[in-house]
Amino acid sequence: MKKKIDQEENQIIIKNVREGIIAGIPILVGYIPVAMAFGMLAKTVGTTFAESLLFSILVFAGASQFMALNLLAVGVGIGEIILATLLMNFRHFLMSGSLAARLKKGERALIPLLAFGVTDETFSVTMLKKGEVEASYVLPLQLISYISWVGGTGLGYLLGEVIPPILRNSMGIALYGMFMAILIPAMKASKTVTILALGAGAVNTLITYSKILPSGWSLIVTILVVSAAGVYLFPEEEETKDE
């Protein structure tokens, strides 16, 4: 009897692993070119191969990495970069909490590991799965995403050696392209996002050109101001939609 139960559990694990890998393939396809762009950009701002690779290995947060790279390029201090990155990635606390609530009870010890692998894409795919979420599904999904991001970073950095300088420098557009690709669909789907995005642009522009704060703090203050405005001005948008 016990042997039969073990066999069934093994079959479930194998099924979950296969589904996780399959679900991660579209993310892999999307991550590699963006990660390559990051690797190439990292080379243009003077980071070493090891530094750029460690950036993706330890941080693993695409948009934040591009932002941090841009801030490094303009000479912003490390403290400001860390704080801006923390604020930008604060949503990961909420996503990790949601994942933990859906995770199978006997696998709660893996929450710190799974939380590290949470990205917008892996979280979205995971939340689409019905019922309890098992680590045997989430880990392969996150692992294939992680490997593609780190591998793409290294590949982009190395390809920077053979790509003409003018083409490498033009990869800077990837930063803005990535943000626009994330922002525009969200703006189309929500008037609130449109208002907040335009407000963020206005606040950041005002602070930057008025020079009332040191370089690098304009982004941090903008994030705090617009986030607070979103909470207080549009607190019931989701409830209204549900109704």
Mean pLDDT in residue range 223-239: 72
- pLDDT bucket at 242, cuts 50 / 70 / 90: very low
> What integer pLDDT is reported at residue 239 of this predicted model?
42
Q: Give the single-character DSSP code of 90.
A: T
Helix, strand, coil tally for the chain in percent (to 5)? 80, 0, 15
Q: What is the pLDDT of residues 91-148, one digit of tens each?
A: 788 788 888 888 887 787 888 898 999 888 888 788 878 778 888 899 999 999 999 9
**Contact indicator for 72, 43 with CB cutoff of 8 Å:** no
